[in-house]
Amino acid sequence: MQPLKSQKKDQPKQLWWKTGIIYELYIRSFQDSNGDGVGDLKGIISKLDYLKDLGIDCIWVTPFYKSPMKDFGYDVADFTSVDPLFGSMEDFDKLLKETHARGMKLIVDQVPNHTSDQHAWFKEARSSRDNPKRDWFIWKDAGEDGKEPNNWLAMFGGSAWEWDKETEQYYYHAFLKEQPDLNWRNPEVHQAVLEEMRFWLEKGVDGFRVDVMWHLIKDEYLRDNPDNPDYKEKEPTYNRLQPVYSTDQPEVHDVVELMRDLTDEYNERVLIGEIYLPTHQLVTYYGHDNQGAQLPFNFLLLTMDWDSKKFAIAIDKYEGALPNEGWPNWVLGNHDQSRLATRIGPAQARVAAMMLLTLRGTPTLYYGDEIGMEDVNIPKDEIQDPQGLMMPDKDLSRDPYRTPVQWDDSNNAGFTTGDPWLRLSDNYKKLNIKAQQDDPESMLSLYKKLIALRKKEPALHSGLYRPVYSDQQLLSYIREGEGKRFLIILNLSDRDCRFSSERFNFKGTVLLALHAESEGQKMNKSIDIKGNGGLIIELEL
Ligand code: GLC
């Protein structure tokens, strides 16, 4: 196979957010330093060496700003502060300094869609109809018979409109009623939020993960959303309607561009967008001429069935839909989705790790996935997540995938000396970081090997992607660049299978395998892949 002409071109210097690996760290559950049972900034500082050793390049820390914690920090009361629960501004400055000192980057969460109802802006807006900040939020008179202004639903259940008795109008909230949505049609809101972002940029943060980017602007006429004919009762009530007027409006791209103009004033900062949309809509968030988000989060690995054929198609569609110069990215887990090892099982979670770290594009890892942490069953009377509490009959609590890191086999897995805010998994005595550090076959050792190889080989972190072959079990593709070519073969089933290389004229040697005994093996006409197996083969050129 000859490299195509267009593929021989010299690659421009790659930016850190293209070649690097991002790690999401859910602050409440990472490491507690003061025994109150909740993770904090000092706790993170004490674990930076672990993250460095793992090989990640950038930490994304979930919200640590002042908050009543109705949605565990995604209800921000003051965006330029640190909640005492997580420490102080000095602690943050130290975290940033120590992260940078280790050659890593740090990005923070930016929550521009809504504030807490305890935010000074909302308190003012709510105080009277003619308050100058009234229009910073979305207020509407009651419809006929005092009804809500339209049929929009909140993500966490119920109507998205809340009646304010004092001023006799409804306000809109896409999430909890304690999270009123900002009005992004008001230019004063732009200025105010951009100033807050500038505060963190001036401190030296390396970028933002922008919360619910696709929600930012709503239809000007607040038209009713249409019904969803495919709705099933077990789903969140929000899914009863198709949110065509409440999300993903064309004007959202102007807002994203404003944010991007701001981050572009600084050197090598990145704007990441949280966006749950089908691929063809998702890629519009790269913006006109790529002046939108550099990394609109791609949640395909998180939201799709674990099926090799479907994946092969989805990857190709995604690669094909990317705008010119648009850089891909892949997300394996986050604090809103069931853990990988629970969704697809521990054996396939290893295959997923190899996929994440060999696909073209920036990988984002979720804390704990590197040791195969699983969802933890949280008894009903211990549920804390508002999504679980608001729709109790639907089993939607996100607590199970937000449990504390299992560091070692000591009390509370070394996470806290106090009572952890969320119970830990019973399996932590066996499944923990310390145990895995000493085991060359462990998930953690696998992650380290894959990360080290990805860092070492330009073909893997910056090279081209070419699909090769897929069937009911296999997914295979090539990564190539700087004079090297790797064939990755993944077995997404638990049955052994064979890859026939003859028709492609491939020859090569297995460099890294999910079953170590395959390493060093030569591939001539074909090669066998064990169930739950995966191979990275260096091809002869
Ligand atoms: C995002 C966050 C989620 C939060 C929601 C509301 O989806 O990831 O955790 O509940 O926004 O801010």
Task: Name every residue whose Cβ is closer than 8 Å to that of residue 377 and which is 6 or more positions away in sequence.
Answer: 400
User: Mean pLDDT across the stretch 288-302?
Assistant: 97
pTM here?
A: 0.96
Ligand 1, atom 9: nearest CA belongs to which residue? Answer: 336
Residue 336 CB: number of other CB atoms within 10 A? 15
**Structure token pair of residue 118:** 């305890």
Question: Does ligand 1 lie within 6 Å of residue 272's CB atom?
Answer: no
User: What phi, psi does 25 have (nearest 5°)?
Assistant: -120, 115
Question: Does ligand 1 lie within 6 Å of residue 71's CB atom?
Answer: yes
Query: pLDDT tens for residues 232-243?
Result: 998 999 999 999
- Give 75 Cα–ligand 1 centroid separation in angstroms: 9
Ligand 1 atom closest to residue 398's alpha carbon, by position in its atom list:
9
**Domain 464-539, what fold?**
Immunoglobulin-like (2.60.40)
pLDDT of 9 reads: 47
Looking at domain 120-172, which of 3.30.70.100, 3.90.400.10, 3.40.190.10, 3.20.20.80 is its CATH number?
A: 3.90.400.10
Cα–Cα distance between 310 and 364 in angstroms, integer? 21
- Give 470 Cα–ligand 1 centroid separation in angstroms: 35
Asked if 274 is an active-site residue, the reply is yes
- Give 25 Cα–ligand 1 centroid separation in angstroms: 14
Cα–Cα distance between 271 and 296 in angstroms, integer? 8
User: Where are the chain's structural domains?
Assistant: 17-115+187-451, 120-172, 464-539
- Tell which residue, 130, 123, 28, has the closest CA to residue 77: 123
Query: pLDDT tens for residues 89-125?
Result: 999 999 999 999 999 999 999 999 999 999 999 999 9
Specify the CATH architecture of the domain 17-115+187-451: Alpha-Beta Barrel (3.20)
pLDDT of 400 reads: 98
User: What phi, psi does 484 have (nearest 5°)?
Assistant: -130, 155
- Give 309 Cα–ligand 1 centroid separation in angstroms: 31
Query: pLDDT tens for residues 158-182?
Result: 999 999 999 999 999 999 999 999 9
pLDDT of 3 reads: 52
Ligand 1 atom closest to residue 74's alpha carbon, by position in its atom list:
12
Asked whether the beta carbons of 304 and 332 are under 8 A apart, the reply is no
Per residue, what are the HEC states of 243-295? CCCCCCCCCHHHHHHHHHHHHHCCCCCEEEECCCCCHHHHHHHHCHHHCCCCE
- Tell which residue, 540, 478, 488, 479, has the closest CA to residue 513: 488
Asked if 144 is an active-site residue, the reply is no
Cα–Cα distance between 181 and 192 in angstroms, integer? 14
User: Mean pLDDT across the stretch 145-150?
Assistant: 95
Cα–Cα distance between 17 and 15 in angstroms, integer? 6
Ligand 1 atom closest to residue 174's alpha carbon, by position in its atom list:
6
Model confidence at 14, in pLDDT bands (50, 70, 90)? Answer: confident
Specify which residues 469 forms β-bridges with: 476
Question: Does ligand 1 lie within 6 Å of residue 337's CB atom?
Answer: no
